Amino acid sequence: MTALIIGLSILLLVIVILQISKLTDLYARIRGEEEVEERLNRNQGNAMMLFLVGFLVLCFLSAGWWKNYMLGYGPHESASAHGSILDGLFDTTLLFTGIVFVITHIALFYFSWRYKKTKTSKATHWSHNNTLEIVWSAIPAVVMTYLVIKGLLAWNTVMADVKPGEDHIEIEATGYQFAWHLRYPGEDGILGPRDFTKISASNPLGQVWEDPLNYDDFHPDELWLPVGKKVRVRIIARDVLHNFYLPHFRVKMDAVPGLPTYFVFTPEKTTEDYRNELRNYPEYNVPKDPTDPDSKMLWEEFNYELACAELCGKSHYSMRRIVRIVTQEEYDAWLAKQQSYYQTTIRNTDEDPNKGKLLGYEIENNREALNLAVDKALVDAGIPMTAEEKAALRLIRLDFVDFETGSYRLTSQSSSQADDLVSILNRYPDISIEIEGHTDNTGDESDNKVLSQQRADAIKTYLIDKGIDAARLKAIGFGSSQPVETNDTDEGRQKNRRVQFRIISN
């Protein structure tokens, strides 16, 4: 319906214009061509002047009107250390191009008015004018030189890489159709190596799992950074050209397939600072959802964002990621919550080259957990407990002591936790323990009982070999008589096959 009305309106307009031109024609024939032409020229000249004034006034008014929405002005002053240099560069360029813009428009429209054709006017022909040539060559040359030198100085400052040993955070952003994959280095502060041939559905970045530097790297959904800290972003593309764009920080760098790029910047305003700045402007004191007056204000809902500034395909817009600039304390708390990609997704799957082996940090964690469990059982923390609760605390499972299938031979990786138990027995010389072997219910029960006894004995022997007094150690095999879970599922049976120890005296 709207389209029909628009179509009819256009048709009517065309008819009106045709009718007017017909009238002008008739009028000219009546009044004489020349007089009419002169009158038309005069009208058009005046219209040109009117347009000039209206156009220039509107240009300046609209710039003023939209000022608080534009990067670089009002609340949108740069949120990074280098950003103000770039904003200054833009302002200088805008000043010069603005002067040229105003002068050329005035000249264009004023000349059409001033030199409109009349009966008496006559054109003058200038073949050459040295002064004009010099003026319009020299002025742009001087201005260009100034802009280029200023631009080069800004470029050198903005593009400077981190110096060796300089304190900074290094993160990585990989663009692909259609998202950014972010990677942080984890506790070691170093991003692990990558190899594009290793890219797969479960290894989207091609991280080399043989390298321990990759073990703590994590892949967050949001880009979190602490305020005031220098950040170096490695920028990578996995398929087509993308562009890493943080508009509020004046960070923009191409992500080129096969050619790693980087950008170094220092965020200077937290998300909260930026919101509070926006709050001072009426443009941002309106509900985010115009149809719901109870929705939060625009300034409250503001977030920095990471975008792709390259038209990389049909879902290009969906590459947006939230960016949060926070205080160092908030950042540390966030870091503590992040989980390593290797640990959560790769560890002990078929892709893990360390499948079935314990890693150094895991041995460390297991030791801490075991020590904590023993301390909890032995040290009175002043919490009132029933006898059962106390007994439960004294029964501790050895999750990382295991045996070769169907045998009572300890696997090579069992020694780390068995050694931890030795240290505990040395640390608490007064305690005795009872080592318990348990199996699931598969196979013959008398065989199970024998095997569980042999396994408990094997641990006892190991401890005696390490210098623990045999009088402090007791070993019992329970077979499948004391399951902790159902024996109907794989998972349950896995839980039932176990060795544990009970602290019996101290």
Quote the DSSP letter at residue 77. Answer: S
Candidates 49-57, 74-82, 302-310, 407-415: pick the segment binding Cu ion (CB under 5 A): 302-310
In the chain, the N- to C-terminal Cα span, in Å, equals: 91
Ordered DSSP codes for 170-217:
EEEEEEETTEEEEEB-TTTT-PPPB-GGG--SS-TT-B-TTSGGGTT-
CB of 259 to Cu ion, least distance (A): 16
CB of 231 to Cu ion, least distance (A): 21
CB of 175 to Cu ion, least distance (A): 5
Query: Does position 394 bind Cu ion by CB under 5 A?
Result: no
| CB closer to Cu ion, 254 vs 272 | 254
Query: Does position 308 bind Cu ion by CB under 5 A?
Result: yes
| CB closer to Cu ion, 227 vs 237 | 237
Task: Dig out the tokens for 137 from the structure.
Answer: 């060559």
Question: Helix or strand or coil: residue 266?
Answer: coil
Which strands form 179-183's sheet, in the order they lie side by side?
179-183, 169-176, 231-237, 261-265
Candidates 108-116, 305-313, 345-353, 425-433: pick the segment binding Cu ion (CB under 5 A): 305-313
CB of 180 to Cu ion, least distance (A): 8
Cβ-based neighbour number of residue 44 at 10 Å:
12
- Backbone dihedral region for residue 356 (phi beyond 0: left; psi -120 to 50: alpha; all else: beta): left
Task: Dig out the tokens for 13 from the structure.
Answer: 């307009």
Candidates 242-250, 293-301, 382-390, 466-474: pick the segment binding Cu ion (CB under 5 A): 242-250
The number of residues that bind Cu ion (CB under 5 A) is 4
C-beta separation of 79 from 304 below 8 A: yes
CB of 310 to Cu ion, least distance (A): 5
CB of 318 to Cu ion, least distance (A): 9
Query: Does position 370 bind Cu ion by CB under 5 A?
Result: no
Beta strands 473-477; 432-438: pairing state = parallel
| CB closer to Cu ion, 319 vs 435 | 319
CB of 172 to Cu ion, least distance (A): 16
Query: Does position 312 bind Cu ion by CB under 5 A?
Result: yes
Query: Does position 236 bind Cu ion by CB under 5 A?
Result: no
Site mask for Cu ion (CB under 5 A), range 209-228, x = bound: --------------------
| CB closer to Cu ion, 180 vs 209 | 180
Subset of residues 400 to 429 that bind Cu ion, contact rule: CB under 5 A: none
C-beta separation of 472 from 433 below 8 A: yes
| CB closer to Cu ion, 8 vs 322 | 322
Burial classification of residue 332, based on how many CB atoms lie within 10 Å of its CB (0-12 exposed, 13-18 middle, 19 or more buried)? exposed
Query: Does position 321 bind Cu ion by CB under 5 A?
Result: no
Burial classification of residue 249, based on how many CB atoms lie within 10 Å of its CB (0-12 exposed, 13-18 middle, 19 or more buried)? buried
| CB closer to Cu ion, 85 vs 199 | 199
| CB closer to Cu ion, 312 vs 421 | 312
| CB closer to Cu ion, 264 vs 308 | 308
Candidates 188-196, 239-247, 329-337, 340-348: pick the segment binding Cu ion (CB under 5 A): 239-247
CB of 237 to Cu ion, least distance (A): 8
Q: How far apart are CA 338 and CA 379, in angstroms?
A: 32
| CB closer to Cu ion, 161 vs 221 | 221
CA 454, 457, 458, 461 dihedral sign is: negative
Question: Helix or strand or coil: residue 329?
Answer: helix
Candidates 246-254, 308-316, 325-333, 348-356: pick the segment binding Cu ion (CB under 5 A): 308-316
Angle between helices 83-114 and 130-158 (to 10 degrees): 160
| CB closer to Cu ion, 11 vs 311 | 311
| CB closer to Cu ion, 223 vs 312 | 312
Beta strands 242-246; 304-308: pairing state = antiparallel
Distances (CA, A) of 250 to 74, 158, 207, 263, 462: 15, 10, 30, 11, 63
Candidates 22-30, 184-192, 234-242, 490-498: pick the segment binding Cu ion (CB under 5 A): 234-242
CB of 305 to Cu ion, least distance (A): 14
Query: Does position 242 bind Cu ion by CB under 5 A?
Result: yes
CB of 178 to Cu ion, least distance (A): 6
Alpha-helical (H) ranges within 67-191 are 83-114, 130-158
Candidates 51-59, 235-243, 356-364, 402-410: pick the segment binding Cu ion (CB under 5 A): 235-243
C-beta separation of 279 from 285 below 8 A: yes
Q: How far apart are CA 293 and CA 299, in angstroms?
A: 14
CB of 263 to Cu ion, least distance (A): 16
| CB closer to Cu ion, 241 vs 395 | 241
Q: How far apart are CA 42 and CA 113, in angstroms?
A: 8
| CB closer to Cu ion, 312 vs 370 | 312
Candidates 28-36, 210-218, 245-253, 318-326: pick the segment binding Cu ion (CB under 5 A): 318-326
CB of 352 to Cu ion, least distance (A): 31
Positions touching Cu ion (CB under 5 A) are 242, 308, 312, 319
